[in-house]
Amino acid sequence: MEKAWWKESVVYQIYPRSFCDSNGDGIGDLNGITGKLDYLKELGIDVIWLSPVYQSPNDDNGYDISDYKAVMAEFGTMEDYDRMLGRAHELGIKIMMDLVVNHTSDEHPWFIESRSSKDNAYRDYYIWKDGRDGKEPNNWGACFGGSAWEYDEKTKQYYLHLFSTKQPDLNWENPLVRKEVFDMMTWWCDKGIDGFRMDVISLISKTPGLPDGRVGKSGYGDPGCANGPRVHEFLKEMNREVLSKYDLITVGECSGVTVEEAKKYASSAGDELNMVFQFEHMDLDGGESFKWNHKKIRLTELKQVMSKWQTELEGKAWNSLYWCNHDQPRMLSRLGNDSSLYRERSAKLLGTCLHMMQGTPYIYQGEELGMTNYPFTSLEEFRDIESINAYHELTEKGIVPPEEMFDYISYKGRDNARTPMQWDDSPSAGFTSGTPWIAVNPNYKEINAKEQMAREDSVFRYYQKLIKLRREHEIIVYGDYRLLLPDSGELYVYMRSLGEQRLLVVCNFTEQETAYQMPDELESGKGRVLISNYDRETLEPSATLAPYECAAVLYG
């Protein structure tokens, strides 16, 4: 397998609004990030994925951009950005920017022009259509509720927005749009950035003819735009025009991606992207009303999905590995156990299970501390457009009763990941000296970076070790993967192999002691425990694993 620095890297995602506030306005900012780069250096990560810091009216916290070449005033200035980039580079940390080009903000000058008249030069930068029988052009629903079409009185046409009404979709069919995007990317690359995470990039090529989609519970049709007919052509063009000219790390956020499609997006031929974020493991607890339910992820299904991605991309494309990001609730509260008894142990188990796989691991801020979901008690505590809109839409239509829907958004809502980073036990967890834009999780006195950095057996120290191991053992990066005990509903066991070496990873995902039998092919006694969350020095051929115990054992 061909080696590459981005295969050997560990990425850390920063959600700037919630990371660290340096000026007391309650909102995280660039100077706040710069001040914490030493912390990230100590953790040992290689790359930061920075969620959007561009100018934005913040309808969707920066995923609605009104100027791609300016910094959001709340986050600071371009000088602050340059200082952050410079300091990160001094420390050997790379910066990957969030590229949001499926849509812009409706306050972007292109859209302001576009909506001004039908014959404006920018009209075709977006997707405008006449209504059908006095209604929307088709039945598509938007991700944040309602129709995906918004009527514009001025020119009496509808524009498409797969997300909020303030996020009109760009028309990628228009070569001028592609050129603008590529020029803007080049501008950032010339500034010295190190890569791009590409927001919903699988959606840029719309279904030809924009046909009605299958109607779901919300009453709207599914746009079905994922992996559209020209998406690979567009990305190959992007690669030719921009990516291939620099040494970058690229990851496409690809909702609706299948293994077959991923082999094209992230092909080892290197003519599109380095890797994709797939969603199959995140969708395991989804249901009819999208993600709004209490369903639990079943371990056997999780293993089946993860293993499929591991084995099918082997040698053909590259995996990204993630449990958490700013769009997901905390995995510790979803698949782990966030009770005080098992919180740290299960956080370490989740880390081990993921970081020992093949692919580039992504850590979301606070994951390295075992941060948990937030205990919501009222709708007023929510800030996220997705949760708030979904609550109103599904309760007002009588699809889900209000108390039930409140439980769902509390459990699955994105704000769980967006509460401020917990730095220490001072007021507001050391995130801000002012009033935070979103409430701090009350458990910050117990869970915070300061306490964990001072304690050898903390989750932070454990993540530090996971990252270090990846650097020390090639088998963790490049070894192939095989699932063992596929039918066990308690244990996730897999084996990595590289040459003569074997790495056995054993994780007990339950609250019970669980018996484990070593595969015959491994001779007992010769293994070396690389990491364990239970002070285990050896793994006997027949062992009893403690609740949430995990270990990675190297043979040969």
Active site residues: 199, 253
Does 415 bind ligand NOJ (CB under 6 A)? Our answer is: no
Q: Which is nearer to ligand NOJ, 161 or 303 (CB)?
A: 161
By CB under 6 A, what part of segment 151-190 binds ligand NOJ?
Answer: 163
* 384 lies in the site for ligand NOJ, by CB under 6 A: no
- Is 199 a residue that touches ligand NOJ (CB under 6 A)? yes
Four-CA torsion 382, 388, 392, 398, nearest 10 degrees: -80
Question: How far is Cα 395 from Cα 387, in angstroms, rounded to an integer?
Answer: 12
* Minimal distance, residue 364 CB to ligand NOJ, in Å: 11
29 near ligand NOJ, judged by CB under 6 A: no
Among 46, 60, 393, 549, binds ligand NOJ (CB under 6 A): 60
DSSP letters spanning 25-68: SSS--HHHHHHTHHHHHHHT-SEEEE---EE---TTTTSS-SEE
Can residue 285 be called a binding residue for ligand NOJ (CB under 6 A)?
Answer: no
The span from the CA of 30 to the CA of 21, in Å, is 8
The number of residues in the chain equals 556
* Residue 265 interacts with ligand NOJ (CB under 6 A): yes or no: no
Supply φ then ψ for residue 514, to 5 degrees.
-135, 135
Q: Which residues lie closer than 8 Å to 219 by C-beta, 6 or more apart? A: 141, 397
Closest CA to 489 of 300, 295, 285: 300
Calpha distance 222→519 (Å, rounded):
45
**Binding to ligand NOJ by residue 393, rule CB under 6 A?**
no
If DSSP codes are grouped into helix, strand and coil, which group holds residue 464? helix
Which ranges in 330-401 belong to alpha helices (H)?
343-355, 385-396
491 binds ligand NOJ (CB under 6 A): no
- State which residue, 100 or 440, has the beta carbon closest to ligand NOJ: 100
- Phi first, then psi: what are they for 44, rounded to 5°? 105, 10
Q: How far is the CB of 103 from ligand NOJ (least distance, A)?
A: 7
* Smaller CB separation from ligand NOJ, 368 or 384: 384
Our finding on whether 19 is near ligand NOJ (CB under 6 A) is: no
CA distances from 222 to 54, 162, 228, 315 (A): 30, 10, 14, 34
| Count of positions on this chain that bind ligand NOJ (CB under 6 A) | 9
Instruction: Closer to ligand NOJ by CB, 328 or 422: give it.
Output: 328
- The tokens describing 385, both together, are 């457009």
Q: Least distance (Å) from ligand NOJ to the CB of residue 401?
A: 26
Report the residue number, 361 or 547, with the smaller CB distance to ligand NOJ. 361
The tokens 């509903």 sit on which residue? 489
Taking Cα atoms as reference points, which of 248, 86, 104 lies closest to residue 171? 104
**Is 204 a binder of ligand NOJ (CB under 6 A)?**
no
The nearest distance, CB 207 to ligand NOJ, in angstroms, is: 18
Q: Which two tokens stand for residue 19?
A: 């990371």
Least distance between ligand NOJ and beta carbon 347 (Å): 23
Q: Report the SS3 class of residue 159.
A: strand
CB of 486 to ligand NOJ, least distance (A): 31
Cα separation, 57 vs 64, whole angstroms: 7
Q: What residues numbered 226-255 form the site for ligand NOJ, per CB under 6 A?
A: 253
Q: Tell me whether residue 197 or residue 470 sits nearer to ligand NOJ (CB atom).
A: 197
How far is residue 34's CA from residue 55's CA, in Å, rounded to a whole number?
19
Residue 275 binds ligand NOJ (CB under 6 A)? no
- Nearer residue to ligand NOJ within complex by CB, 167 or 360: 167
Residue (199 or 549) nearer to ligand NOJ, CB: 199
Say whether residue 59 binds ligand NOJ (CB under 6 A): no
Rank residues 29 and 384 by Cβ distance to ligand NOJ and give the closer one. 384
Question: Looking at 169, 194, 327, 393, which residue binds ligand NOJ (CB under 6 A)?
Answer: 327
- Select the residue interacting with ligand NOJ from 33, 45, 96, 100 (CB under 6 A): 100
> Smaller CB distance to ligand NOJ: residue 163 or 364?
163
Q: Is 74 in the site for ligand NOJ (CB under 6 A)?
A: no
Query: Which DSSP symbol is given to 547?
Result: T
- Is 362 near ligand NOJ (CB under 6 A)? no
Instruction: Give the three-class secondary structure for 125.
Output: helix
Question: Taking CB under 6 A as the rule, does residue 200 contact ligand NOJ?
Answer: yes
Separation of alpha carbons 179 and 2, rounded Å: 31
For tokens 């992820």, the residue is 297
Least CB distance from residue 446 to ligand NOJ, whole Å? 28
Rounded alpha-carbon distances, angstroms, from residue 228 to 239, 271, 356, 389: 18, 18, 33, 27
CB of 230 to ligand NOJ, least distance (A): 20
Residue number, nearest CB to ligand NOJ: 63
Q: Looking at 49, 54, 63, 172, which residue binds ligand NOJ (CB under 6 A)?
A: 63
Residue partners of 265: CB distance under 8 A and separation at least 6? 202, 232, 235, 252, 254, 257, 272, 273, 276, 317
Cβ at position 63, least distance to ligand NOJ in Å: 3
Minimum Å distance from CB 40 to ligand NOJ?
21
Q: Which residues bind ligand NOJ (CB under 6 A)?
A: 60, 63, 100, 163, 199-200, 253, 326-327
